[in-house]
Amino acid sequence: MEKNDSSGDNRERSATPPRKVVKVGGWTAKKKGNTKNVHRQQSFREVWLKDPMFRDWLLPDSNDTCRAKCKFCPLSSMVAELSNLKAHAATTKHKNNIPGSSSGPQRQLTSLGFQVGKKPDNVDKKRAEIKFCAFFAEHNIPFSVADHFSDLLKECITDSSIVKEIELKRTKITAITKNLIGNAQKASITEKLKKQFFSLLTDETTDISTVKTACIVVRYFDEDAQRICSVFWELHNLFIQNQTDMIQSANAETLYTALIQSFTSRDVPLKNMIGFASDGCNVMMGDNNSVKTRLQRDLPGITIVKCVCHSAHLCASEACKKLPESIEQVARDIYNFFKHSDKRLFSLRAFQDFVNVEPHKILKPSQTRWLSLSAVVSRILEQWDALRLFFIDFTTKANREKTDVINRAVSILEKLCDPFYRMYFYFLDWALVLFTRFNLEFQRENVVVTKLHDKICELYKEILLRYLSYGYVMGRELIQVNPENDQFQLTDDQMYLGVKVYEMLNKPEIIAKPVQIASFKSNCRSFLKTAALEIRKRYDMEDPVLSKLKVFEPKSALSINFRNRFPTLMPVMAVVPRIVSPSDNISKQEIDDQWRRLPIATACHPEGICDVSEPDKFWALLTKTEFHELAIFALAVLSVPHANADCERVFSKTNLIKTKLRNRLITETVNGTLLAAECVKGPDRKGSCVKFEPTDFMLSRMNAENLYGKKKTATQEDDTDDAPDDIIFDYSVHQL
């Protein structure tokens, strides 16, 4: 090389001699004469071991001084030339094998504790590693903890041969959790759905990293647990990151396609899908262009149910809008006044002690959290006297406070000293209990769909009777009652608004203000009327399916007298054609015969069946008797959903997995972790990582192909990198 070659790198020129030298002679004709280029062999140079580009991975080849090796890439032997070393350093395989690498696909198996050419069949080691991964999944432990976990075990437990062999780092523990335990759970559910009728529940949310996802939960009769279960099925992105060339939207077609593909991709027959539940948003439940209309088009006869918990919450929210806005605003003002000040909370505790109330925190009103408003109202009433004394003290000693703070405190104090504000809170505390009790009843995982119709009718009647005459409400079919009928409305004096309101209305300072009393009662009447109208709008009082499901209550099924009202199950079979085909007269007759014979053939009943009150467990016992066909039909019908509260539970778990410190977890990993956690719990929901036992299926798939065979795309984030140095800071946290 020439000395004046400015394009060369000084470090490279000093590190290696020129690759080729020109020899005179030879038979090949060149421009400079009869010459030929001869490649000169290069020996390994120690100076490369100090080069920042190579020093972390480069090794000399002990078998050949002219070759080099990479400590991270097994069986890697290359000619010791600078260009070869640079080319190797730039390969994707090398980058992925470097410990701690956060780019590209997951690391290869050889960098994670498995030795090349040696495949020990250590079942105890595999079992231990799987159980440790189950522990991580159940308790939402960051996978980055695994980088020190196995080393710490070896340091502390020196006399265990199993511990000595365990190799668990973040990539391997992620792979086992997601691709082994999670996939085993998904495969198990898939096999069950291929044999059982099931219902589908879904909802959407946006997680902490602003990724919009949809959750799918399936509800079916689990033969292993002998009960009807709601089981997590899938969490998937609504917007695909690598499809930037097309306009994406979370519309009905996108949601529907994702739902259907989640089952067809695993060969789950759609003929087994009998029910669907979601919240009442237009994209899900609209009458023209929604997921519901597409399901009804492609799956005729499917039972569609709006989530009753969402509906009850919306009914209460709409009714609250009929009260003065200042009622809700004062609740927000009180919360905001204390939320950032420990000093004010400390001062409040002194007044709480003085009036002898528990030092509970002030709660935040929320429009999206079920039951939150009722809890907020109850808490403010509990702390009312302590709050009033605090604000009296604060406003009289607020010389050093800012003007806006003083004005806020004075405004809150005025409302706390107004008896009509207190009456409004007493009324809400009494009225919202109806919705709270109803919501709590149907948030449960148990089978309560048999009670749903009666409970909704009961809630509707109870609200109507608070402002309409008893004879009008009870003297006709509920569907014929008009909540807005002025002719049968009670007078203001006849309306009952709760004990606390009744006592307040008899106080002299209240009696002296008849105009405000009339306004108060008018607002309360509007609240009750709106609540009744919202219930009627959101629920069909003659629902063709839910109104008939009480026949499957254990007491009804075993009652001879009940057969006088329901001598046949034909009305039920007619509204669930996806379970029993309308043309299958043989099955219908067999089910009906068993239904009529059930209360008579007591000798065929399983022992203790009369003491079973839960419908699914009752019918599960009968599957092993001569009433098998009837029991299978009943369990399929009882799999119809009543709410999608199970999806909300999944979102709560997701928020515990994908936190501010683990915000780089991709949805695929969160999905696998949720499935793994479900697997650990078991079908009876009583399991734990201690009792969890890896199956033979899991142990047989504990190999490189199953754990690491699926490569990540270049556009995916590193789902194993949840260490603190990957935090995307949310500075709003530091303002609290």
pLDDT in tens, 494-516: 998 999 999 999 999 999 999 99
Give me the pLDDT at residue 733, please. Answer: 34
Task: Please check whether residue 721 lies inside any domain of the structure.
Answer: no
Of 59, 94, 129, the residue that ends a domain is 94
Give me the pLDDT at residue 94, please. Answer: 83
Mean pLDDT of all residues in the chain?
85
481 and 363 fall within a common domain: yes
Q: How confident is the model at residue 83 (pLDDT cuts 50, 70, 90)?
A: confident
425 and 340 fall within a common domain: yes
261 and 347 fall within a common domain: no
Task: Please check whether residue 21 lies inside any domain of the structure.
Answer: no
Can you give the C-alpha Rg of the chain in angstroms?
A: 35
Per-residue pLDDT tens digits for 101-119: 654 444 444 443 444 444 4
The more confidently predicted of residues 446 and 675 is 675
Task: Please check whether residue 33 lies inside any domain of the structure.
Answer: no
Task: Please check whether residue 124 lies inside any domain of the structure.
Answer: no
352 and 413 fall within a common domain: yes
557 and 662 fall within a common domain: no
Q: Which of 292-306, 357-371, 389-403 has the lowest mean pLDDT?
A: 357-371
Task: Please check whether residue 146 lies inside any domain of the structure.
Answer: no
525 and 383 fall within a common domain: yes
3-state secondary structure of 222: strand
Where b means 16+ CB within 10 Å and e means fewer, 437-466 reads: ebbebbbeeebbbbbbbebbbebbbebbbb
Give me the pLDDT at residue 241, please. Answer: 65
Give me the pLDDT at residue 248, please. Answer: 65
Cα–Cα distance, 547 to 571 (Å, whole number): 11
Of 543, 574, 592, the residue that ends a domain is 543
344 and 273 fall within a common domain: no
Per-residue pLDDT tens digits for 588-638: 999 999 999 999 988 888 888 999 999 999 999 999 999 999 999 999 999
526 and 554 fall within a common domain: no
- Cβ 194 vs Cβ 272: under 8 Å: yes
pLDDT at 79 over 50: yes
Task: Please check whether residue 382 lies inside any domain of the structure.
Answer: yes
- Cβ 194 vs Cβ 266: under 8 Å: no
209 and 275 fall within a common domain: yes
Question: What pTM does this model have?
Answer: 0.76
194 and 224 fall within a common domain: yes
Q: How confident is the model at residue 88 (pLDDT cuts 50, 70, 90)?
A: confident
Task: Please check whether residue 339 lies inside any domain of the structure.
Answer: yes
Give me the pLDDT at residue 1, please. Answer: 43
Cα–Cα distance, 249 to 288 (Å, whole number): 18
Task: Please check whether residue 514 lies inside any domain of the structure.
Answer: yes
Give me the pLDDT at residue 28, please. Answer: 43
Q: How confident is the model at residue 76 (pLDDT cuts 50, 70, 90)?
A: confident
614 and 658 fall within a common domain: no
Domains held by the chain: number: 4
Query: Domain span at residue 89?
Result: 46-94
Non-local CB neighbours of 325 within 8 Å, separated by 6+ positions: none
Residue range 292-315: average pLDDT? Answer: 92
420 and 338 fall within a common domain: yes
Residue range 338-346: average pLDDT? Answer: 89
